[in-house]
Amino acid sequence: MGWDKMLIGSLFGSPIPRTGLWFGWPTETDLPMAEAQEFLYEEMVPWSCTMLMAPSYGETNTTSTDARMAELLDTGNLVIKGPGGEILWQSFDSPTDTLLPNQLFTKSTKLIARLHGGIYWPVPYLKMFENGRTNYNGSRIAVYDEMGHFVSSDWFQFIASDMGLLRIKRRLTMDHDGNLRLYSLNNDTGLWVISWEALTQLCTVHGVCGRNAICVNTPEPKCSCPPGYEITEPGNWNQGCKPLFNEILFQSQQVKFVELPHVDYFGFDLNFIESISIDSCMKLCVGDYRCKAFNYKLTGERRCYTKSELFNGYQSPSFEGKIYLKLPVTVETSQLAILNGTDPICQSDELETMIGSPSMYNINTKRMRWVYLYSFASAIGFIELLFVVSEGGEEDESDLTGFVRMVKSKIQCGEDSWIEEIVDPRLNGQFSRNQATTIVQLGISCVEEDRNKRPTMDLAIQALLECQD
């Protein structure tokens, strides 16, 4: 088996960040590296794992004779230096999902989620100064400090809910659901707690349900297909919904419009016209083959937005406008269900999936089991590494010892919900309790003071294989 890739992590949570090497990655596997660290790292131990893949020399524009050393700075930045100490490559310049305190967020920084991206503007119909922003400062730079205060050159700023408290570890992370959140480390429990998030309503995250789909609060956020559409790939909402009609032949057919109250598809506007009647707006959409729907608000400015694509769909009671979906007259729809607004999008439970759950992106399959296994194997190596690097520092060792003692106490007391308390809450309970329990127990055994009681890697892998559902 060829092992030509290394997984490197910065352990953020101890007095200074440190580097740990988990394990090599076989070239034969097709498992994306981002998926192997997704579930249990953050809540297993009181550290945040900033995962990265160091590029090849060809990707850093260096030669094999340029690089002299790799160094992890106190800021958590992993750098490759040349003969004169110059930085040839640094991890802070690479796409990432996490920014650390005092790490600059510039116009070239790529803060990414796994699935999709989007351009956000606070209130789309307000102008720059009305939104409290400015373009007079063209530096396009932002940063947040250890106190939890984020500032940007365009005047945008926010503060953590626990701002001002000293000695709190923080991280700003673009989560896998596409929402940007600031986390604070609770020193008592060893868990990361949300202290700020960009979008409090998950349905307003762009593209969270894929093309044509609509995010609906029922009251939990769920993905649904609109009338005339069905889910593209059952269990994988990243693919969204597909039409039940031929889009090419659709251009030559008679059309109708289906009304979806309190629904909007953000962006992809073909036209924006104020003070126009709904009939004129409808004719504008009918006469444009590119138009798939239009948004109209009867009150106020009577604005008309025609849509070329149906992305970023969401339903919100606070949204006073409506989407008028353009469909062939031959497509059967239930106007009553739409107007009632109770379940205006789809009539089948199979077409609804909880936002943020593993099943949303089709990861509850055989492929998901391997994600668990690689994640668990990495976590075991991670915990074992923590014990090794902490032997020289009483403060670090006490952090890990405290976490192990807490988990052991919960297990001995027979608490039923102990595993749920340390698994990533964003999974919304959608995980294998058997597998999660096994990995935690294995992790604890890996840090036993008596090294003879620690399991070998063969025994650990065997235990993981036996606990598959």
Q: How far apart are CA 255 and CA 326, in angstroms?
A: 7
pLDDT of res. 96? 81
Cα 44 to chain centroid, rounded: 19
Tens of pLDDT, residues 427-447: 667 777 777 777 777 777 777
Is it the case that residue 39 has pLDDT exceeding 60?
A: no
CA distance 458 to 469: 20
pLDDT band at 181 (very low <50, low <70, confident <90, very high): very high
Tell which residue, 143, 184, 142, has the closest CA to residue 163: 184
What pLDDT band is residue 205 in, cutting at 50, 70 and 90? confident
Mean pLDDT for 29-45 is: 36
> Which residue type, as a one-letter code, is found at position 329?
V
Instruction: Please indicate whether residue 296 or residue 9 has the higher confidence score (pLDDT).
Output: 296
Averaged pLDDT for residues 149-177: 87
Find out whether 194 and 177 touch, Cβ atoms under 8 Å: no
pLDDT of 209 > 50? The answer is yes
* CA distances from residue 431 to 220, 351, 359, 362, 368 in whole angstroms, order as listed: 18, 20, 10, 13, 10
Question: 189 burial class (0-12, 13-18, 19+ CB within 10 angstroms)?
Answer: middle
Strand 87-90 to strand 78-81: parallel, antiparallel, or no bridges (unpaired)?
A: antiparallel
Measure the CA–CA gap between 179 and 469, rounded to whole angstroms: 31
The mean predicted confidence, pLDDT, of the chain is 72
Name the pLDDT band for 292 (thresholds 50, 70, 90): very high
Three-state secondary structure of the chain? CCEEEEEEEEEECCCCCEEEEEEEEECCCCCCHHHHHCCCHHHHCCCEEEEECCCCHHHHCCCCCCCCEEEECCCCCEEEECCCCCEEEEHHHCCECEECCCCCEECCCCECCCCCCCCCCCCCCCCCHHHCCCCCCCCCEEEECCCCEEEECCCCEEECCCCCCCCCCEEEEECCCCCEEEEEECCCCCCEEEEEECCCCHHHCCCCCCCCCEEEECCCEEEECCCCEEECCCCEHHHCEEECCCHHHHCCCCEEEEEEECEEECCCEEEEECCCCHHHHHHHHHCCCCCCEEEECCCCCCCEEEECCCCCEEECCCCCCEEEEEEECCCCCCHHHHHHCCCCCCCCHHHCEECCCHHHECCCCHHHHHHHHHHHHHHHHHHHHHHHHHCCCHHHHHHHHHHHHHHHHHHHCCCCCHHHHHCCHHHCCCCCHHHHHHHHHHHHHCCCCCHHHCCCHHHHHHHHHHCCC
Position 259 scores a pLDDT of: 92
Q: What percent of the chain has pLDDT over 90?
A: 20
In this prediction, residue 218 has a pLDDT band, given cuts at 50, 70 and 90, of confident
Q: What is the pLDDT of residues 242-286, one digit of tens each?
A: 999 887 777 777 899 999 999 999 889 999 898 899 999 999 999
Tens of pLDDT along 76-89?
788 889 888 898 88
Tokens at residue 248, please?
A: 């090419």
Tokens at 83, concatenated: 């003969």
Only one residue has tokens 């991280």, namely 171
Q: Are 375 and 438 in contact (CB under 8 A)?
A: no
**CATH class name, domain 209-354:** alpha beta
CB 45 within 8 A of CB 400: yes
Count Cα atoms within 13 angstroms, Cβ side, for 46: 26
Residue of 394 and 417 predicted with greater confidence: 417
Tokens for 34, please give them: 């981002």
Angstrom distance (rounded) from CA 257 to CA 156: 40
pLDDT of residue 335: 54
pTM of the model: 0.56
Q: Count of CB atoms within 10 A of residue 93's CB?
A: 15
Nearest to 265 by CA among 297, 308, 224: 308
- Domain extents in the chain: 209-354, 366-466
Please say if the pLDDT value at position 462 is more than 70. Answer: no
Q: Is residue 343 pLDDT above 50, yes or no?
A: no
Integer Cα distance of 269 and 243 in angstroms:
20
Cβ distance 367 to 29 under 8 Å?
no
Q: How confident is the model at residue 71 (pLDDT cuts 50, 70, 90)?
A: confident
Cβ count within 10 A of residue 232: 18
Q: What's residue 67's pLDDT?
A: 81
Nearest to 397 by CA among 449, 460, 443, 454: 449
